[in-house]
Structure 1
Amino acid sequence: MARFAHTVTVAALDRGWFEEAAGALVDLLDASREGPGGSVVLADGRPVEGLRLLKGRHLRPGARYGEVPAEPEGTGEVPVEHAGAGAGDSPGAPQAVVLRTWRPSHSVEVESLVEEDGMSLKVGLRLSEPRRPRAVELSLSGHKPGGGSLYRFSGRGKADPAAWWAAVDRLPSAPPAARAPVSGRAVHRLAKARLTLTPRPAEDGSWRITVVLSMRGRWLLRPVGAVVLFFARGPVERGLREAAESAAEEWNTALAELTPLHGEALRAEIADALVNPDGATTF
């Protein structure tokens, strides 16, 4: 098994603000309704940008959301009920998201089928207690039609927000959490990989996050995988370092632009961002 690790420093996120923002977003969507032409409108009547009901009933299991493709001139308008039925069937078709569960006090689950670069990808996301996130679960599977088992892979990931907050609430001198609050696994016919993120507080109040990537070959290919990883160790280490540093930079930039609004001001700002993502100010 090969193990790679890198630690980055990022700005800390306020837990109270995060949970308040998550709750406000869920409440806004829960109060939304279907509008003209399949649009999704907030309680104040403004349509949510980029979100359109293509099939089914809004916020009911099986509802399909996405963007209706523009129709060629002279073909007439396609009914919204059927506009998303073929999403993903052709390379130029917009991809759709299917709502599997909408119970804001318990869980929300969505699924997306994506066709990209000749690969078929199925992505699932499940949030437990989304108003105050308790768990985030991600699943991913992919294959290339007609490509055989070498073109198949799968993965699962999970984040435990409570464990994350507990880890960053420790004293800076305390040892890191024994269990990583964020972890993921990927499986291919030839190899397995595991990724973990473990945070700890820094003296200045920021977070230091250690990213660990473990890789190994499967079955009889383990010796071959060990040889390959031996020669590829440098590029893999460099790739992990660059990816972690880039993600940390994006996180710090995003948090620096946030204005810590609360209450109705925060709710109004999130609503504006849903309606006009490009024109809304940061919140």
Structure 2
Amino acid sequence: MARFQHTVTLAPVPRQWFESCVTTLHDVAEDLDSDGGCLRLPDGRPLPGLVLSEGSHLRPGARYRPVNGKDGQPDADRAATVLAWDRRRETALEVVTVDEDPAHPARLTCVLRLLSAARPREAWLTATLGTTGGKRAEYLGGTVRLHLDLGRWWPSAAGRNRRPLAAPLGGTLTHALARATVTVVPRPAPDGRWRVTVKARVRGRSLVRPLLPVVMAFMGRRAHRSIAEALDGAAREWNARLPALVHKEGEELRAELTGGLLPPRDVHPPRALPGDTPLGCPE
């Protein structure tokens, strides 16, 4: 078994702001008007780049597809499907991306669940990469499962967690040759930020199990350094972007989130080619 541990310092996210952000995201989605495949903002502006291809807006089974930038048609290889949309109970979305590479066709399925939007308590993320074709297809896929206990995260970040051994964020990565268990625990830093410690344990599976100690003896230090550098880079990005965002509330936060749905002012949505019948909004 191989072990890894690294700590980064992050700008904190106030719990009240996080919950407000979840509520606002739901408000923005629910305020979209649906007319066939067309989605419009409350002021009538069309929402470019996304169409409702199946079902009723935000009802279970509703399927959304991004618009292909080349011809203005819905992208058949990507889709987001609503599995559940109930603020008091659960919000769940499934996002599927298909790669039609003739050598190794692949399908990535991600499912995000939140319990619940009215009072966020827990969240789950499952991502599965499956491949077909080729003798080694089983070694090109895997599954990631993460569980975030929001009720434990902020007490832990404030140093008030009554169960310090229970990680608020944990998960597994399962591959044909290895299985990794990951835990993430926040603690208060002296300057008010979060000291977040990531721990991982990797066990070999199948024929790799007896070889893992040998592999880690040669490559363990390099692997640890690469993962630590990736975490440090993500922390720098987080700290550069988050502080300005968490100061936005109410209508300012709503405008920020709504603006994220729109392209830059100098970018125009693609026009359909002659003969095409896109599902997007007419001008």
Q: TM-score, normalised by structure 1?
A: 0.82
Query: Which has the higher mean CA deviation after the structures are superposed, 209-218 or 126-135?
Result: 126-135
Runs of 4 or more above 6 Å deviation: none
Greater RCO, CA 8 A, separation 6+: 2
Distance 1:175 1:229 in 2: 35
Match of 2:61 in 1: 62
Question: 1:175: Cα distance to partner?
Answer: 9.7
Tell me which residue corresponds to 1:206.
193
Tell me: CA distance 1:264–1:69, structure 2 relative to 1, closer, same or farther (3 Å).
closer
The 3 A distance-change label for structure 1 pair 248 and 71 is closer
Distance, in Å, in 2 between the alignment partners of 1:51 and 1:59 is: 14
Pairwise CA distance, 1:102: 1.4
Given residue 149 of structure 1, which amino acid in structure 2 is its aligned partner?
A: E
Structure-2 residue corresponding to 1:221: 208
Superposition TM-score, scaled by structure 2 size: 0.82
Deviations along 1:80-135, whole A, 9 cap, x unmatched? xxx56xx12xxxxxx11111111122111111221346432111111111244221
Which amino acid is the alignment partner of residue 211 of structure 2? V
How much does 1:38 deviate? Answer: 1.8
**Secondary structure of the equivalent of 2:260?**
helix
Is there any run of 5+ residues in structure 1 with no aligned partner, and where? 89-94
- Are residue 138 (structure 1) and residue 114 (structure 2) matched? no
Q: What's the offset of the Cα at 1:218? A: 1.6
Deviation, 1:177, is: 2.5
Q: Are 1:154 and 2:143 counterparts?
A: yes
Tell me the equivalent position of 2:14. Answer: 14
Aligned to 2:152: 163
Work out the number of aligned pairs and report it: 259
Tell me the residue number matched to 1:92. Answer: none
**Offset, 1:202:** 0.7
Equivalent pairs: percent with the same residue?
Answer: 38
1:20-59 mapped onto 2 (5 Å cutoff): 20-35=20-35, 38-59=37-58
Aligned residue identity for 1:192: R
In structure 2, C-alpha distance between the alignment counterparts of 1:166 and 1:123, rounded to whole Å? 29
2: CA distance between counterparts of 1:237 and 1:145? 31
1:100-115 equivalences in 2 (<5 Å): 100-115=83-98
Aligned match of 1:255: 242
Give 5+ residue unaligned stretches, structure 2. 266-283
Describe how 1:67-146 pairs up with structure 2 within 5 A. 67-69=66-68, 83=74, 87-88=76-77, 95-116=78-99, 118=104, 119-146=106-133
2:50–2:67 CA contact under 8 A, matched in 1: no
Residue 209 of structure 1: CA displacement? Answer: 0.5
In structure 2, the residue matched to 1:2 is: 2
CA distance in 2, matches of 1:273, 1:122: 24
2:253 aligned residue: 266
Distance 1:63 1:238, change over 3 A: same
- Distance across 2 between alignment mates of 1:180 and 1:259: 24
**Aligned-partner Cα distance in 2 for 1:29–1:115:** 25
The alignment's C-alpha RMSD in Å is: 2.5
The CA distance in 2 between the partners of 1:131 and 1:242, in whole Å, is 37
Residues 194 and 278 from structure 1, CA distance in 2 versus in 1: closer, same or farther, beyond 3 angstroms? farther
2:245 alignment partner, SS class: coil
